[in-house]
Amino acid sequence: MELSIRTADVVTILIYLLVMIAAGFYFARRNRTTEDYFVGNRSFAGWVIGLSMLGTIVSSATFLALPAAAYILDWRQLTVNLVLPFIAVLAVVVFIPFFRRGKLTSAFEYLGQRYGFIPRMYGTVSFIILQLIRMAQILFLVSLVIQFLTGISIVWVIVAIGLFIGFYTFMGGIEAVIWTDVIQALILIVGGVVCIYWVSADLPGGFSQIFEVGQAHNKFSLGSMDFDLGKRTFYTVAILGIINWLGIFAGDQNMVQRYVSARSTREAQKATIIYSMIALPMWILFFLVGTGLFVFYLLNPDPVVSGLDADQVLPYFIFTEIPPVITGIIISAVIAASMSTMDSGINAISTVTVIDFMKPWLAKGREDSYYFRSAHLIVGVVTFLVIAGAISFSLMEKESMNDISLIVTSVFGGCLMGLFLMGFFTERIDGYAATVALIVAVLVNIYLGLGLLGILPPSLTLMIHSYWVIALVNGTFIILAYIIGAIRGRNSKSLEGLTVWTIKRGSGSGDRGNTLKSK
């Protein structure tokens, strides 16, 4: 069956896109300095930041991939997110006060203050590369959906969506990003609720039948409860979830930029709590949509569905079962999910490039207006790179795309969690210990990545599952850095305000304090 997008849906989507463009123009008038462009003059309320966090973390891949995972298998992929509330508590108590003190803008400023130049550059470069790859993938995936519905060449879809997102990010800076993220997060939630409502309405037994039939087919399983670290059991995925969320809350620039954009430490903490309270139920909602689709097509067999990939089932249901306009809202939610992730990533890369490369190294001592203009230029360059990357993905086999993502994530994503956590919680590890351990861990990362790709001969390959690459690399860094630090003795550098043991309690509650001085 050939699907085509309807006029009413096109109009609905265009209205949504026009609102996004209007937001870009509106906030462009309010940007005069880099402080405005990067952190919105640190003036946002907690609820705004919380919804923006939600929009940033959830991508279009999530909107499609989670229902697909529940449809084809069960709920075991939810396990990685069950630990989110526990890590959020640590963020509220420890991470946010660190980044709020001293009016930091970049997460990697902290690494420079704590360890020195090399770890700071590693963190910055790693973040930029990982974000470029992630955004290119997301742009490619959402473009596949639009191509599927319109028949337009995927290259033109990629270019159009990429330029659109880049334009309003270029114009409005972080204010446009955060406020459009709020709108996009709300549309995303509405889209999920509408989907589950329509699935339930078309079932003879209603909403409860999803649970009855799903339970009978073991669709709510969270995975095997065996403690086998070589398989995707409940405990394995939970451990990986802890590592994943520690990395996001402790040192992901997209999150840190929102911590420091709040108008107070209390508002930043409130934002994180709000985000955590909404995110988990929302993920459960997406999994429920997937289970509902399974039940719907089990009871209403459709020969077309049997020939679809799992991530095409939801779009097919939307266009065959849901009326116009409502369909347009849901498609807008899919687009919104990609936009909220991409605009945050583009602005974050612009921020760290100026703060971590230009100000301390490439263009020291310039007027703020110079850095402000540079930030706009960087947004344009990043947009071009993301579009080029998405087009490259469209020309690759799916396996090749996954391989590239695997090796890039392996090589450049390994040590960030360890760097931040050891900085926060230890005094022994100095810049020398961190740098040596970092170099060794990156070499281990490369070795493991080559093994996963099958480039190394079997005799030289360490046979571990890809789940454990980041855990092993971070473990290598943590153990080696601590050993070197213990051998070298007490850190000679002043760590005042840089660890949980040396931070000044109650010094200005982190809003205007100068405990951390910019380098």
Q: Give the model confidence (pLDDT) of 201-233 as tens digits.
A: 888 888 999 999 999 999 998 877 777 666 677
Q: Which two tokens stand for residue 419?
A: 């760097």
Query: Residue 10 pLDDT more than 70?
Result: yes
Query: Is 410 among the domain residues?
Result: no
- Cβ–Cβ under 8 Å, residues 465 and 149: no
Q: Is the pLDDT of residue 402 over 70?
A: no
Domain for residue 304, yes or no?
A: yes
Residue 398: pLDDT band with limits 50, 70, 90: low
pLDDT in tens, 137-165: 888 878 877 887 777 888 999 999 999 88
Identify the pLDDT of residue 512.
Answer: 42
What's the rounded Cα separation, in Å, for the pair 165 and 159?
Answer: 10
239 assigned to some structural domain: yes
Residue 440 contacts residue 382 (beta carbons within 8 Å):
no
Whether 518 is covered by a domain: the verdict is no
Residue 159 lies in a domain: yes
Q: What pLDDT does residue 496 have?
A: 84
The pLDDT value recorded for residue 370 is: 93
Number of domains composing the chain: 1
CA–CA distance, 338 with 343 (Å, rounded to integer): 9
pLDDT tens per residue across span 182-206? 888 888 888 889 889 999 988 888 8
501 φ/ψ angles, rounded to the nearest 5 degrees: -90, -15
The pLDDT value given to residue 273: 95
User: Do the domain assignments include residue 380?
Assistant: yes
As a whole number, mean pLDDT of residues 70-91 equals: 89
Burial 456-484 (b: 16+ CB within 10 A, else e): eeeeebeeeeebbbbbbbbbbbbebbbeb
Q: What CATH code is carried by the domain that includes residue 54?
A: 1.20.1730.10
What distance in Å separates the CA atoms of residue 205 and residue 437, rounded to the nearest whole number? 59
Q: Which domain holds residue 140?
A: 7-100+135-393
Q: Name 44's bridge partners.
A: 262
Q: Does 509 score more than 50 pLDDT?
A: no
pLDDT at 240: 80
Its pTM stands at 0.85
Q: Which of 355, 350, 403 is nearest to 378 (CA)?
A: 350
Per-residue pLDDT band at 511 (split at 50, 70, 90): low
Return mean pLDDT, the chain.
84
Contact predicate 131/352, CB 8 Å: no
Query: Confidence class of residue 489 from pLDDT cuts 50, 70 and 90?
Result: confident
- pLDDT for residue 320 is more than 80: yes
Quick check: is 238 in a domain? yes
255 band by pLDDT with thresholds 50, 70 and 90: very high
Does 476 map to a domain?
no
How would you class 428 by CB atoms within 10 Å of its CB: exposed for 0-12, middle for 13-18, buried for 19 or more? middle
